[in-house]
Amino acid sequence: MRIESLKIHLLPNSVLFLEDNGPLIEEHERFISDGDDELRHIRERKLAEFRAKKDMAYEPIHVTDADFDETVKKHPLVLIDFWAAWCGPCRTLAPVIEELSREYAGKVFVGKFNVDENPEKAECFQVFSIPTVLVIKNGQEVERIVGCVPKKQFENAIQKHMV
């Protein structure tokens, strides 16, 4: 017997078997049964965690006046470095901010905010000296660190508000 053409339509999670005597037997195999709601819940939670980590960068993200509010609302804990290119202490602090971004990736959103290019939010938060680093939790400023200070001071501020 010769087959000219064969169309096969599979349903999700189906397996097809071809027997030696010719007929196709379709067997449905459920990989996650209806009773495995716990597995489905775990999978959904892990996907949400993965997406959150993907959104959290390993390097500080440049934030602007245009996306500041959205960024702060999107992430429960945010550390924003208000800086300027001409500021020596800001350049000295930059590697510390980058380290914090890597160390707290997936837990804290770390951003850099250039006050010369984005004066509106700097004025809203009354940032008159730079570098100024704000810790923002659930949209509200909870900590302000002004000046070039040791990394430990930033870590303490982050730890205090991670709960």
| Catalytic residue, candidates 72, 77, 80, 90 | 90
**Residue 148 a catalytic site member:** no
Is residue 140 within 8 A of residue 109, CB to CB? The reply is no
Three-state SS at 146: strand
Which one, of 156, 121, 135, 122, lies nearest residue 76 by Cα? Answer: 135
CB-based burial label for 24 (10 Å; 0-12, 13-18, 19+): exposed
| Catalytic residue, candidates 63, 78, 79, 87 | 87
**Residue 124 a catalytic site member:** no
The catalytic site residues sit at 87, 90
